[in-house]
């Protein structure tokens, strides 16, 4: 579980196939204790005493530079730095594979013709496919891995 300010980090963790729940709104005990099996990831040292008192597992990471944050989490949680693309990066749900016919009316015509490996989020309905952005994501991930 990540604090709301770590949305970019959550996005990348989801691209790597990680279940990265983003806490929306202020951090409070009632919300955090709903997820006892999760590690809370924050940049705030001020919360450390609260987490200890609440019995919450937590990890404090540097405030800036999301790439450094991602490297730290890859190492700490032993995450394989590989694009899995099996989670919705908007809502964190697991994606389901769909064929192009199922989503034909909801995607641009060029995507219908040239896109491949379509998936859809069963929660928010967002549709994903491998397109030109896939190469850019892989390049960015390679850059991040080389910096780790």
Instruction: Name the residue ranges covered by the structural domains of the chain.
Output: 4-76, 96-147
- If phi over 0 gives left and psi between -120 and 50 gives alpha, with beta otherwise, what is residue 55? left
In tens, the pLDDT along 59-87 reads 999 998 899 999 999 999 999 999 999 99
In tens, the pLDDT along 93-146 reads 999 999 999 999 999 999 999 888 999 999 999 999 988 888 899 999 999 998
Confidence of residue 27 (pLDDT cuts 50, 70, 90): confident
Distance CA 12, CA 83 (A): 9
pTM for this prediction: 0.91
Pairing type for strands 40-42 and 127-130 reads unpaired
């Amino acid at each position: 579980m990540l604090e709301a300010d770590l949305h970019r980090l959550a996005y990348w963790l989801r691209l790597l196939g990680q279940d990265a729940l983003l806490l929306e709104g202020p951090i409070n005990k009632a919300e955090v204790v709903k997820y006892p099996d999760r590690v809370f990831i924050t940049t705030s040292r001020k919360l450390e005493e609260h987490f200890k008192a609440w019995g919450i597992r937590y990890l404090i990471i540097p405030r800036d530079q999301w790439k450094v944050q991602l490297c730290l989490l890859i190492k700490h949680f032993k995450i394989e730095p590989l694009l899995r693309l099996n989670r919705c990066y908007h809502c964190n749900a697991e994606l389901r594979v769909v064929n192009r016919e199922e989503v034909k009316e909801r995607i641009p015509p060029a995507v219908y013709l040239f896109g491949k490996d379509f998936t859809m989020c069963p929660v928010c309905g967002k549709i994903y496919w491998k397109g030109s952005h896939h190469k850019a994501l892989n390049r960015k991930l390679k850059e991040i891995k080389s910096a780790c």
